[in-house]
């Protein structure tokens, strides 16, 4: 990776300082108003019935701390705590009517804060701001996603493939037969690779590489979770898969895709893949692509 320019680091830190001081602080202060911040955040995360376990994980809180905060919210009549139907060790907490009112008020205040801020701008300026923060958020998310190789049989790998299969099944008129998925041994060891993209610990994308014949590899199941689309993650996965292929001495990569996946086809073209005649008899493909890889020396 190329080194990060110090000017960009400085710019980023400037923004960070400005934003947290000006917006973050304001937000924290006004959001809770007459309620401790921890409680306000908790209220916000509860939504419609969550287990304490889930909340602990999401907010990164100590079990005891969370238990106490929940109790005070309960004492104020804002939440209701009950035993989880399926597992009596778990407690499920949900908002009462009063809790929903409180949450709505909290949202109203935060909305008013944001609206008040945007009010100082003209229409086009607001559009530019919205555009800029959208871009910034997408890039920051992408920067926080890591792509790593995992075993083809690992739970995260199977979870991704299941999600992929369900996704395709819903999108193809003819459905999708899960037996067409790669088998773990096809993407293990020297035979191939299975890559998973993680965002904050959760798998949000995957891609498989397997050997077709000497010097030629095939990409399969390049998939990105719906929540993580439009970030440029597919390209990242593609690049990582190509690196895997190069280190294995493969010189050509092939893949097939479906006519209905228009964005995917456009992306493959943009990434240097060219359409070729069918090279295989996959059931679900009707467009075939190929790319020549450059040796690692370059």
Nearer to its own copies, 4 or 75 (CB): 4
Tell me if 29 contacts its own copies by CB under 8 A.
no
The entry of DNA, its own copies, none near residue 68 (CB within 5 to 8 angstroms by kind) is: DNA
Shortest distance in whole angstroms from residue 60 CB to its own copies:
9
Tell me if 128 contacts its own copies by CB under 8 A.
yes
Rounded CA gap, 80 and 100, in Å? 12
Rounded CA gap, 205 and 232, in Å? 11
Tell me if 103 contacts DNA by CB under 7 A.
no
Tell me if 37 contacts its own copies by CB under 8 A.
no
Q: Which one of 44, 76, 90, 211 is in contact with DNA (CB under 7 A)?
A: 90
Listed in sequence order, the residues at least 6 apart from 114 whose beta carbon sits closer than 8 Å to its beta carbon are none
Stretch in the footprint of its own copies (CB under 8 A) among 1-9, 91-99, 202-210, 214-222: 1-9
Shortest distance in whole angstroms from residue 24 CB to DNA:
13
Interface characters, 28-67, with DNA (x: CB under 7 A):
--------xxxx-----------xxx--x----xxxxxxx
Consecutive H or E run containing 72: helix 63-75
Long-range Cβ pairs for the range 282-287 (8 Å, 24+): 282/180, 282/256, 283/177, 283/180, 284/168, 284/172, 284/174, 284/176, 284/180, 284/256, 284/258, 285/256, 285/257, 285/258, 286/256, 286/258, 286/259, 287/256, 287/257, 287/258, 287/259
Rounded CA gap, 285 and 224, in Å? 18
Q: What angle do CA 70, 74, 78 make, to 5 degrees?
A: 105
Q: Which one of 37, 68, 71, 135 is in contact with its own copies (CB under 8 A)?
A: 135
Tell me if 32 contacts its own copies by CB under 8 A.
no
User: Hey, is 93 helix, strand or coil?
Assistant: strand
The answer to whether 55 touches 38, Cβ cutoff 8 Å, is: no
Tell me if 278 contacts its own copies by CB under 8 A.
no
Tell me if 121 contacts its own copies by CB under 8 A.
yes
Residue numbers of the site for DNA (CB under 7 A)? 36-39, 51-53, 56, 61-68, 70-71, 81, 87-91
Residue numbers of the site for its own copies (CB under 8 A)? 1-2, 4-6, 8-9, 11-16, 18-20, 22-24, 27-28, 110-111, 114-115, 117-121, 123, 125-130, 132-137, 139-146, 232
């Amino acid at each position: 990776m190329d080194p990060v320019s110090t000017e960009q680091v400085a710019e980023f830190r400037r923004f960070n300082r400005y934003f947290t001081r000006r917006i973050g602080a304001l937000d924290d202060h006004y959001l809770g108003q007459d309620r401790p911040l921890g409680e306000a955040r908790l209220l916000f995360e509860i939504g419609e019935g969550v287990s304490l376990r889930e909340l602990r994980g999401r907010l990164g809180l100590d079990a005891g701390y969370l238990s106490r905060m929940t109790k005070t919210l309960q004492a104020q009549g804002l939440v209701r705590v009950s035993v989880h139907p399926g597992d009596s060790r778990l407690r499920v907490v949900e908002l009462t009517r009063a809790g929903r009112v409180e949450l709505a008020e909290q949202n109203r205040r935060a909305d008013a804060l944001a609206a008040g801020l945007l009010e100082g701008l003209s229409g086009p300026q607001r559009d530019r701001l919205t555009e800029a923060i959208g871009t910034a958020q997408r890039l920051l998310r992408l920067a926080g996603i890591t792509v790593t190789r995992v075993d083809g049989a690992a739970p995260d790998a199977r979870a991704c493939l299941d999600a992929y299969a369900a996704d395709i099944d819903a999108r193809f008129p003819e459905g999708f037969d899960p037996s067409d998925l790669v088998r773990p041994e096809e993407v293990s060891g020297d035979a191939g690779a299975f890559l998973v993209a993680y965002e904050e610990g959760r798998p949000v994308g995957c891609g498989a590489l397997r050997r077709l014949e000497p010097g030629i590899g095939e990409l399969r199941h390049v998939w990105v979770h719906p929540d993580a689309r439009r970030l440029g993650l597919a390209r990242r996965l593609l690049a990582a898969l190509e690196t895997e292929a190069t280190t294995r001495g493969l010189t050509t990569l092939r893949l097939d895709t479906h006519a209905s996946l228009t964005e995917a086809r456009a992306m493959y073209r943009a990434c240097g893949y060219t359409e070729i005649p069918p090279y295989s008899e996959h059931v679900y493909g009707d467009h075939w692509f190929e790319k020549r890889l450059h040796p690692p020396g370059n």
